[in-house]
Structure 1
Amino acid sequence: MNSMTGPNVITGVNSMITATVEFDHPGLLYRTPGEYRRGTAAFARAAVAAGDAVLVAVPGDNLTMLRDELADLGTAVRFADMAVDGRNPGRIIPCVLLAFAAEHAGRRVSIIGEPIWPGRSTVEYPACAAHEAMINAVFAGRDAAILCPYDASELDRTRLHDAWRTHPVMIVGGARRPSPWYVDPYRTAEGFNQPLPEVPSRAGTLSFTQVAELSRVRRFVAARAGAAGLPAERADDLTIALNELAENSLAHTGAGAAISVWDEAGMLVCQVDDSGHLADPLAGRIPPASSSEGGRGLILAHQLCDLVRIHARPDGTSIRIHMSL
């Protein structure tokens, strides 16, 4: 894969704004800070000039770079730290992208979103890649553009190949190229529905079969969180999230479930296992209608927790939550 060079970077990125009025989801391969700055800034400036609502959601040093580069645009561009707002990749679609689009209903939105950067761990990565695939389903037919930069000098070959699989178009060397590896986003997302590592034998486990036992579930989670040193406010968040997931298990399986809790690598980890089959890969990524009585458990877990991993099988579902200690 070639790096971007020369003035064609701006021409190639500008064409993303004028080529279509429907959803555009290109990946941008870059190798140097200069290439990153030119490609992303050109996209943002063209979007502002076209009258779009513009959001830049990128992590760390890249956020600082683009704040400085685009300072002259003032409030025409909104900024968000993806390492904070998108630390849990399952939070990005409902709480960053859809929230911004809803705020600007009736207006085209253009977003620079960088959910995958070299610091993303192997534990986080499958959820990140599934997120990139499902953007195509969530925003299909919307008047929007989302540009996703990828650091081709630091990311490994597998993650770069996945970028070609999750984006219909890639920008390489300043030129747009249709991706030969892009297929149906649901099919691609299913490839990241990977088995979770085994629950360690040291984990504490509690089984439950009825609603009356939810208070015991909450006490169990709160006690384990406190013993691990999770701050009180975060322990409350975790307890709320696990209670919602436990309620979901009871409502949808009728057979009960089990919760396991343990700590590893600076994280408190909790897993809910039940016999239900979670068939929709968008579950937890699309806010339910205000009139709906359910469907908020996974959304809430994504909002409150640092990482949510899901493995759906024909005979059951495992949902694993991570909270930083």
Structure 2
Amino acid sequence: MTATSSPPAAASRLDHLGLLYRDAEEYAERCAAFLADGLAAGDPALVAVPGANGDLIRDRLGTGRAEVRFADMAVAGRNPGRIIPGVLLAFAAAHPGRRVRIIGEPIWPGRTGLEYPACAMHEALINVALARHDAIVLCPYDAARLPSDMVEDAWRTHPVMLDGAGRRASPAYGDPVATAADFDVPLPLPPAGAARLVFEGFPDLPGVRAFVAGWADAAGLPSVRRPDVLLAVNELATNTADYTGGPGTLLLWREDAVMVCQIDDQGHLDDPLAGRVPPADSVGRGRGVLVVNELADLVRIHRRPGGTSIRLHFDLGIPPPS
């Protein structure tokens, strides 16, 4: 599971802005103005914001909105680890040789404390993942309703901030990889009754899949989610077998209508962009965490002393058994 990556040496072409807003009127006005500037310049534009926020921007933008692509961040970015590859880089790749303009709102009131570290890590890593792309990304923050520590973190993850005082360089912004590492916090402890399997090497992978399938049957996992769960766990277990020199431990449990899978091993996931930036087509390896990010509703990675823990959440969409 070991990989290495270095931030690009070339000067960044990315303009990553944090926008602090306090009400729907200010939100719509500032976002629409940002898009209007892009439309006037002929920039392809993407708006990836949660739910009804997109309607606020559409209504304010008025004419020309057909030239802007909209995505519901609550769906496309349900798992924050999916946003860079599946939303931002995908949009940039669809417009090669052109400057792209994106509104991305990954943090909003309603994001849980469990999701937040992955969201903040995502914001920090945008500065590395998109550094070579000619892009301007605006990230709105509801300064009136978000906790103050989340607003303070926005100053740490964005080189430039916009608020009522205008545009200014953030005095709190620093090395984005180091900032991202600050959000690599320990995971909550698994429940004592979690199902547990220790496995080692490729010969044990069929047993891992059978263990997950059996647990899924007993827990009543909906059939529509079974392929996602089986493939995601198999990818992580394969990484353990491929990259580490020791055994891995698989834990499975249910939290209300969420299935949780965790793999602990002795590997070291050194690349901060693992699972966020697709490897080159010529590279035949390194896509396991990328696949997992696409399949799961939340992925939390914790680089602990002596190894790595990766926890996956799958929304079952059904009530827990009585």
Q: Which residue of 1 aligns with 2:15?
A: 24
Alignment of 1:161-240 (within 5 A): 161-173=152-164, 175-240=166-231
Deviating more after overlay: 87-96 vs 22-31 = 22-31
Q: Which residue of 2 aligns with 1:98?
A: 89
SS of the residue aligned with 1:291? Answer: coil
- Per-residue Cα deviation, 1:62-84 (whole angstroms, up to 9, x for no partner): 01222333342143100000000
- Per-residue Cα deviation, 1:166-198 (whole angstroms, up to 9, x for no partner): 001111116002111100000100100111111
Matched, 1:129 2:120: yes
Letter in 1 for 2:191: P
- Per-residue Cα deviation, 1:227-257 (whole angstroms, up to 9, x for no partner): 3333212111011011011000010003121
Matched residues in 2 for 1:257 and 1:172: separation?
47
Matched residues in 1 for 2:90 and 2:213: separation?
31
Aligned equivalent of 1:67, options 31, 53, 58: 58
Matched residues in 2 for 1:309 and 1:119: separation?
18
Task: Kindly indicate whether the alpha-carbon contact (under 8 Å) linking 1:203 and 1:261 is maintained by their aligned counterparts in 2.
Answer: yes
- Please report the TM-score for the alignment, with normalisation by the length of structure 1: 0.91
Matched residues in 2 for 1:141 and 1:87: separation?
26
SS of the residue aligned with 2:48? Answer: strand
- Per-residue Cα deviation, 1:129-161 (whole angstroms, up to 9, x for no partner): 000000001111421100000001100011000
Identical amino acids, percent of aligned pairs: 57
Aligned equivalent of 1:53, options 6, 22, 44: 44
Matched residues in 1 for 2:226 and 2:132: separation?
40
Q: Which residue of 1 aligns with 2:237?
A: 246
Q: Which residue of 1 aligns with 2:262?
A: 271
SS of the residue aligned with 1:72? Answer: coil
Task: Kindly indicate whether the alpha-carbon contact (under 8 Å) linking 1:87 and 1:306 is maintained by their aligned counterparts in 2.
Answer: yes
Matched residues in 2 for 1:224 and 1:154: separation?
40
Letter in 1 for 2:257: G
Aligned equivalent of 2:294, options 295, 299, 303: 303
4+ residue runs over 4 A deviation: none
Matched, 1:33 2:24: yes
Matched residues in 2 for 1:300 and 1:286: separation?
11
RMSD of equivalent CA atoms: 1.4
1:263 deviates by 0.6
Task: Kindly indicate whether the alpha-carbon contact (under 8 Å) linking 1:226 and 1:232 is maintained by their aligned counterparts in 2.
Answer: no
SS of the residue aligned with 2:45? Answer: strand
SS of the residue aligned with 2:91? Answer: helix
Q: Which residue of 1 aligns with 2:320?
A: none
Task: Kindly indicate whether the alpha-carbon contact (under 8 Å) linking 1:90 and 1:285 is maintained by their aligned counterparts in 2.
Answer: yes
Letter in 1 for 2:144: S
SS of the residue aligned with 1:319? Answer: strand
Deviating more after overlay: 152-161 vs 220-229 = 220-229
Aligned equivalent of 1:83, options 67, 74, 79: 74
Structure 1, unpaired ranges of 5+: 1-20
Letter in 1 for 2:268: H
Task: Kindly indicate whether the alpha-carbon contact (under 8 Å) linking 2:29 and 2:60 is maintained by their aligned counterparts in 1.
Answer: no
Matched residues in 1 for 2:133 and 2:282: separation?
23
